[in-house]
Amino acid sequence: MEKNDIKTSQKSLGLFDLIGIGIGAIIGTGILVLTGIVAAQDAGPAVVLSFIIAALASGLIGLCYAELTTSLPNSGSAFYYTWVSLGSFFAFLAGWTLIGVYVTTTATVANGWTGYFGSFLSELHINLPHNLMATPDSGGLMNLPAVIMVLLISFILTRGTSESKLVNNTLVAVKLVIIMLFLIVSVRDINVANFHPFMPYGISGVFTGASTVFFSFLGFDALATSAEDAKNVNRNLPLAIVISLSVSTLLYVLVGIFMTGVLHYKKLDVSEAMSTVLLSEGHVLVAQIVSFGAVLGIMAVVFAFIYAGSNIIKSMSRSQFLPAGLSKINQKTYSPNRAIWLVGILSAVLAGEFNLHYLALISNVGSLVVFLVISGIVIIMRKRYPLLKRPFLVPGGAVVPTLSVLICAFLLFNISVDAWLTYLAWLVIGVIVYLLYGRNHLDVEESQNQKF
C-alpha cells in the first residue's frame, strides 16, 4: 500500500512553511466571516466562548493528529490511518468524507471571500451586477468572483509546492497584518454596553456556534496531508500543529471580543463583518485596507484546502480506490494536477451556486466525523500496533483521545438535520463508487500485509 509514496514528491516544506499552511487554513473565513454571522445568529457576544470550546476540542484532536502524522507520515491523512486500522471499506468512506469536506469548505471560504471583494470594490465606487455576485437563493445567477478565484488558486497550485508555497506564505502574512490592524484601530471603539446581554441565545446557542465554527480548525488535516512534502516531519509537523492552533485561537478570541464590543451583535450578520465594524466607526481608509487584505488573505485558505483535498484524491488514487490517472504527478512541478483541477472545479461549482451558511454546516458534519474517527484511531492503533515507532505520543494514555471522541460526538449532536441528510447522501454516493469501482480495483491482499 503506497510503498513508494515519498519518492513521488520532493520534500520542500520546512517548519515555517508548515505553520503558514496551518495558519492559512485555520485563520480565514472563520475569523473574517463567520465571527459576525455566528454572533448574530447563534451566540451573541458569547461567540468568543464558541471559539474557545471549538479550540479546546481542536487542541485535543491536534494532539491525536500529531501522534498519527509522525507515526504514519502520508498524504492520505484520515483515509490512510483508517485503512491501516479499520480496513479498506471504512478507509474509503473516510477518504470520501474528506474529499467532500475539502470541496465544501473551499466553496464556503470562497463564498465568504466575495463579501470582502464586493466591499472593497464598492469602497472604490465600483459596483458589479448583483446577479453575478450572489448565489441563486440570494437572488442572483451565480457567485462569479468566487468561481474565478477558486480556479485561479487551482492554477497557482499546479505550478508546484516549491513555487506556490511562496504565494501562500505571502498571503498568510497579509492576513495576519490586517487582523492586527483591525485590532489596533478598533480597541478604542469598544463599548462594553454591547456585551450585554452576553449570552442572548443561551448556552445552547454557544454550543451551536461552536459546532458552526468548528470547520475553521480543519487546518489540522490540511497539515496532516502535507506530511510527505515536509522536511524533518517528526519534529516539524507536531510543532506546526501546536503553533498554528495557539496563534489562531488567540486571534479568534481577540477578534470576537473586539467585533462584538464595537458593534452590536445583531448588526454583524454580514459576510464582510470586519470591514463593516470599521465603517460603522468611520474608519473608511482602514476598512478599505482590511477589505483588500481579506481578499488576499482568504485566498490562502482556499490554497490550503485545495492542496489538501488534492492530496487525499492522489492518495486514494494511488491505492486504486479511485482511477489511477488522478494520482499522476507532473514531472516538472511535482504536483498532482489532475487531482488539483478536480477539487478546484467541484469547489468552484458549489461556491457559485450555494450559500455560505448551508455549505458551512455540511463542512462541519464531515469535519467532526473525521476528527472523531482520528481520535478513535489513536486508541485502536495503540492496541493493534503496540510496537509501532511513535516519535510523538499523546500524553495521558487513552484519556485525551477518549475526550476528543466525546466532544466531537456532542458537537455533532448540535448540527442541523438538513446538514446530516446532505452528508449521508454524499456517503451513499461514495458507497456506490466503492462498490462499482474501488472494491474491484483495490489490492486487498497488499493492504492486509502492510507492515510498519
Q: What is the pLDDT along the chain (452 residues), one digit of tens a residue?
A: 444 344 444 566 778 878 877 777 787 777 877 888 899 998 999 999 998 888 888 888 888 887 887 787 765 677 888 888 888 889 899 999 989 988 998 998 888 888 888 878 887 888 888 888 888 887 888 999 999 999 999 998 887 655 566 776 787 788 889 999 999 999 999 999 999 999 999 999 998 888 888 777 766 666 766 666 677 767 787 788 888 888 888 898 999 999 999 999 999 988 788 889 999 999 989 988 988 888 887 887 788 789 888 988 988 888 888 888 888 887 776 778 899 999 999 999 999 988 777 787 788 888 889 889 889 999 999 998 888 888 778 878 889 999 999 988 988 887 888 889 989 999 999 999 999 887 777 655 444 444 44
The candidate with the shortest Cα–Cα distance to 230, out of 75, 437, 41, is 75
Alpha-carbon Rg for the chain in angstroms = 21
Reported as type and span, the H/E element at residue 261 is helix 233-262
Residue 133 in 3-state DSSP?
A: strand
- Residue 9 Cα distances to 162, 194, 324, 327, angstroms: 11, 52, 17, 12
Pick the CATH number of 5-448 from 3.10.450.50, 1.20.210.10, 3.40.50.970, 1.20.1740.10: 1.20.1740.10
Q: What is the pLDDT of residue 335?
A: 78
Question: CA 225, CA 355: separation in Å to the nearest integer?
Answer: 27
Q: What is the pLDDT of residue 451?
A: 43
Could you tell me if 78 and 373 are in contact, meaning their C-beta atoms sit under 8 angstroms apart? Answer: yes
Tell which phi-psi region holds residue 395, choosing left (phi > 0), alpha (psi between -120 and 50) or beta.
beta
Q: What is the pLDDT of residue 413?
A: 85
Q: What is the pLDDT of residue 239?
A: 82
Q: How far apart are the first and last CA of the chain?
A: 11
Could you tell me if 42 and 208 are in contact, meaning their C-beta atoms sit under 8 angstroms apart? Answer: yes
Residue 173 in 3-state DSSP?
A: helix
Could you tell me if 146 and 351 are in contact, meaning their C-beta atoms sit under 8 angstroms apart? Answer: yes
Could you tell me if 149 and 110 are in contact, meaning their C-beta atoms sit under 8 angstroms apart? Answer: yes
**Triad 210, 54, 203: Cα angle to 5°:** 40
Reported as type and span, the H/E element at residue 154 is helix 144-157
Class of residue 56 by CB neighbours under 10 A (exposed 0-12, middle 13-18, buried 19+) = middle
Q: What is the pLDDT of residue 448?
A: 46
Question: CA 42, CA 278: separation in Å to the nearest integer?
Answer: 22
Contact residues for 106 (Cβ-Cβ < 8 A; gap 6+): 150, 302, 305, 306, 309, 343, 347, 351
The amino acid occupying position 319 is S
